[in-house]
Every structure is written in C-alpha cells, then in structure tokens.
Amino acid sequence: MARKKSYIFEILEVLAIVLIIRVLIFEPFYIPSGSMNATLLEGDYVFATKYDYGYSNFSIPFSPNIISGRWPNWKPERGDIVIFRPPHHMDIRYIKRLIGLPGDRIQMVGGVLHINGKMVHTTYIGKHKLGEDGKIREYNEYQEKLPNGKTYNILLDPTSWRRNTKVFEVPPGHYFFLGDNRDNSLDSRYTLGYVPEENLIAKAKIIYFSSKSSLFPKVDNQGNYDYNPLYILTRFIPWVLSLSPSRIFRIVYI
C-alpha cells in the first residue's frame, strides 16, 4: 500500500511540474494558416515563452479572473511575434507580428508600411513560391526594417488590390498587429482591430516541429479537428513524408 501511495504521489508531482511549466513558462502553438508566411508556415509548431510580458487572466488557462490587467506589466517590443486572444473571438488564439505600439499611427501606402508618418525601409529579396489549394502561387518577398532595427521578411501578392489603408491610431493600452503574409492575413487592418494588452499570452521563440500536412483533418476554420482513427491510419505515411526537419529548432524571435 505504501509503495502504491508513493507511486501516486510521484505521478502527481510530475503532473504539477508539467502544469506549472505550461501555465507560467511555455505555450505550445500550432500554426493553422499561412498568414505568417514567410516566417511561420502552416504546419509549424512553435514554443512561446509566457514570462516576457507578465501574466493576465488570458495567459493562465481556466483562470477565475483573479488578475486585473497584467502582472508584472512588462511591455512587448515592436516586431515581436505574439500569441494573443483576439477581442472579437476570445475562445481562440492568434499569432501575428506586433507593429503598432500605443499612440502610434499606422498606415499602408502602396503596400508599404508607414509608422508615425515615416515609411518603413523595405528591400526587395526576390520571388517566393507557395503551394496554396493545390496550386503554386508566386509572391514578391521583401525585408522590412522597423524603426528599432528589427528586420524580417514579408510577402506581397503582386495581383492584390489591397495596397492602401486609412491611418490607424493605436489607443492607449492596445497594440496593432500584422501578418507577414500581408495580402493573406486577417489582422488589425480588418476584423481584428486593436488588441488590448491584457490579451497578450506569449512571445514566439522557436519552431520545435514542422509538417506540411496533418494527421487530422481540419473540420472548421477555428482549428478543430476530426480524430477518426481510420483516417489517421491512412494519413500516417503521407504525414511522415511531409515532415520538414530543416525547420525544426529554427529561432523565430528577433
């Protein structure tokens, strides 16, 4: 009996450690769409750290609303890739790049990002091909350099008409997010709007796994999957062949 109790306590200790790590340190996240191409691809799995921005009710699973605001209230930096709760759809998580800080004025002019009336430096990289809906599409790839010196690559669809926006004035306590795949991202220019600081969950750091296909068929646009065992069995070999080992352990924070 004593040995059995000891075994149970050991299991509970392990579960407690895992829970603490999951709640306070790491947040795993699956990339469900191509809105962050060319940085994060659909099928990437990333680890994000939760301590960078402090903690809120949205960063702690099943929180009973015991935290007001963020504690400690550490501020994100422009250019961070952030996991957060979208204010218009609080039961899911988004991942986008933080572009606008509180008080900033953000605008797209001819497809070029402007921050506080100044054009962000952009360098043409070349053509970038992506497989979408069974077809190969060609994008223009650019490197953006933010005012704080952070650089990253973005994609622009040469056939897109979405090149100009109004001026977005980021309110206090909120942030403005864009996807790196600029013409294929529902971000702060559209339904997402400005994101309250308490909605921030974690900062993306590293890709720990990547696959071009899934073992599980997606059944809706909210990231829900069908776990039918027969389907999983038939998908196993194609899934193994679609693994992307070159992307594993790739650093994504800047």
Q: Which residues does the annotation mark as catalytic?
A: 35, 96
Amino acid, single-letter form, for residue 23: V
Closest CA to 196 of 114, 90, 60: 90
Cβ neighbours of residue 12 closer than 8 Å, sequence gap 6 or more: none
What count of other Cβ atoms lies within 10 Å of the Cβ of residue 34? 20
Phi, psi of 16 (to 5 degrees): -65, -40
Burial 101-135 (b: 16+ CB within 10 A, else e): beebebbbeebbbbbeeeeeeeeeeeebebeeeee
Please report, for residues 13, 19, 20, 24, 244, the alpha-carbon distance to residue 10 in angstroms, rounded to integers and kept in the order given: 5, 14, 15, 21, 36
Amino acid, single-letter form, for residue 86: P
